[in-house]
Amino acid sequence: MIAENYITNTCSIFNDTVHKNDLNAFENKGADLSAFLLSAYQHFQFHYPKFYKMDNLSKLGWLASEILLKDDFSKYNYQPEEIGVVLANSNSSLDNDLKYSDTLKDIPSPSVFVYTLPNIVIGEICIRNNFKGEHAFFIQESFNAGFIAQQVNYLLDNNILQACICGWVDVLEQHYKATLFLVEKKKEEKSLLFSAENMERIFNKA
């Protein structure tokens, strides 16, 4: 029989608010997205100079992953290859594609071009944490929790991974939403069963 997997932490960033697990962790109403992301970065006292050069999709995903992992997750419990990242969104990297497209009239910038791929946010999270395991970026019309759960369960149940960050990170201009789940094989007091129903409930609450 296949062992069950558990959601050990969650983080949602949506509607000017950061939620860590069930708690409202930060709020900054009325700022535009770039200012909001910077204010969250400052609020949590992160120090990571690479943050400033990221596009908004990577900033949003990177922030959500930092907040997701910051309290009680120790990556040293796992080998780098045992931790993976499986993400999805509906707008791919279009937010930054529009910005890159604008530079075509002038001089195209390699530092903007590199963010014209949705999986760069996965690369940023992997670089930050030295995660070297399986990863994938899927494009979905809307959050398909069942599909993500199936992909992540395959990776965990076949011992390809021992822990996985998964969820949704989407940005298009001022519209944005991130909901990340940390999925592990161990059950802790606050753990939730890793299921499409629980993912959807948390995603929709945000």
Partner 1 sequence: MSVKDVFIVIDNILSPLGKTTAENFGQLKNNISGVKLHNDESLSSTPFYASLFDKDEILIADGSEFTKFEQLLIASISVALQNTAIDIKDKKTILIISSTKGNISLLETEANSPALENRIAMSTSAKLVAGHFGFQNQPVTISNACISGVMALLTGMRLLRTGEYENAVICGADVISKFIVSGFQSFQALSNDICKPFDKARTGLNLGEGAATVVLSTNKRFEGNIKIKGGAVSNDANHISGPSRTGEELAYAIKKAMKDADLGSNNIDFISAHGTATIYNDEMEANAIGLAGLQDVPLNSLKGYYGHTLGAAGLIESVISIHSLKESLLIATPGFEHLGVTSPVNVCASLTHINAGNFLKTASGFGGCNAAVVIGK
Total number of residues that touch partner 1 (CB under 8 A):
51
Q: How far is the CB of 198 from partner 1 (least distance, A)?
A: 20
Binding mask 138-177 for partner 1 (x = CB under 8 A): xxxx--x--x--xx--x--xx-x-----------x-----
- Secondary-structure percent of the chain, ordered helix, strand, coil, rounded to 5: 40, 25, 35
The Cα 138–Cα 144 span in angstroms is: 10
Residue 104 engages partner 1 in binding (rule: CB under 8 A): yes
Return the residue of 41, 100, 168, 194 that touches partner 1, per CB under 8 A.
Answer: 100
Q: Is 172 helix (H, G, I), strand (E, B) or coil?
A: strand
Q: How far is the CB of 109 from partner 1 (least distance, A)?
A: 6
Helices (H) and strands (E) in the chain, counts: 7, 8
The Cα 33–Cα 80 span in angstroms is: 32
> How many residues are recorded in the chain?
206
For residue 174, with 0-12 CB atoms within 10 Å meaning exposed, 13-18 middle and 19 or more buried, which class applies?
A: exposed
Alpha helices in 31-93 (DSSP H): 33-43, 56-69
Binding mask 115-144 for partner 1 (x = CB under 8 A): -xxxxx-xxx-xx-xxxxxxxxxxxxx--x
Residue 48 engages partner 1 in binding (rule: CB under 8 A): no
Residues in the site for partner 1, rule: CB under 8 A? 2, 80-81, 85, 90-92, 94, 97-98, 100-101, 104, 107-110, 113-114, 116-120, 122-124, 126-127, 129-141, 144, 147, 150-151, 154, 157-158, 160, 172
